[in-house]
A and B are shown apart, each in its own frame.
Chain A
């Protein structure tokens, strides 16, 4: 048993110290990122690996609150990118992050309708119609909290048929045509392709969602964590994010 452990330790040590790259960072960097960042962060990760030979970016995409809980339970993450400041606060409260998080992107809501707009949705006021099938995010998740804010600002009482557990579940209902309208993030409409049409509405400005990012205090690879953070905040990072539909902070 001891010998097995010794060999394992040697192997691990070997993994941790490959030839240093030009930028001085190397090794694995583990990024915990909100589910809505899946497409854009995968792309950023690939670009980062190309720019920093010898590095490998590993992602854990999930709901921001689940990620915050995993971090607080001691998950070995280097970087945390949250879809809402509230979830970032969960990890700064426990001192898992002591640095000030940086807002790197903003997301706004958009009305999503199935291809061809069968419910003839024209604006936010249609969400009050009881005869239309409406899907919203549950208030407990960030997109639901944002939807609530928007309806309050517009003084509209929405008549939803379902309050979904996350924004992707809402989108599934729209793309299958099960609902006539839904509120999701602009980036989700963009990622959904042709089956979903997005409609802007003026009240969306009442609920702009900030995405904060921070390196963890106990990051196993602090140097690479900082390099990845810088890359997200760089012009190249901003370009990838804006292509995905995010607004600059």
Chain B
């Protein structure tokens, strides 16, 4: 008989959190003994609330479930003051439904499904209202990235993952023009994924799998993809290193991870450069208040190096009003203004005077973009690196 040890368990004393990840399908309770001992020892160390985190537990059979819940029941009987919170994930599909009856039986157990609350500030960017911004951005950046991607190692026939795919338009462009064998596109916004699937269906594209998932804790197995992309996303997570760790994990050894990020304070335009610069410096501060670093672009090399990658290649390019129709550029700025100086500034509690000045910078950049002698720019840093073999 072989025992499958394809699970990982760890305890973090500071968070009073016991994390079980991977797969738990034992044949007998005996196989659960090491995990049960670790869980018992961890429970003995905590007071107040104990977190049992099963967000990344992809598979669990009844033998394992009963072993875990028997142990939890015993502790609840002997320590009625202890609260136990089971943290599940909507990504797994089964886990909330499986653990909820435990909370119904034991008054000191609660089940909390991990969702958007864990990413404060993300709701601005995951709501359907952001779709016009994303569409415009991809249209403008693709002019540059279609040439950059092969330079960063993307070749026809490769297996590609596009993590934080948003509305999936980048994946569609990659599929159409650069001919990978297969693309898996993952995002944590159901609204965006619904849109992505609709667009793919309308264009008859069948080689892209759009899947729901959390980029910082993906259900995807290790070493799966030749080329992993993650665009404009590290900058809007409060802990980008967690996502990079996952990008590294799912990338094949020898494969490459490609990331793009901005440095918003470097957005520019002429005429009216001073007003534009002031507004974009404030954009960076606004995002920082929501725990997002839209200045991350030039830090890409450091992040990739710290994540364990090698052969790091960093490029930068400027999307400008000269990239096709200047109105497209102007539309993108208008969409930014609507969200940044609208809902976000209001939620931060900015004064009407501040918001008026803040809006003016966007309007001045639109003026620069549409001016016959004007110039307006949005700088992007594109970086990639190889996972060591």
Indicate, yes or no, whether A interacts with B.
Answer: no
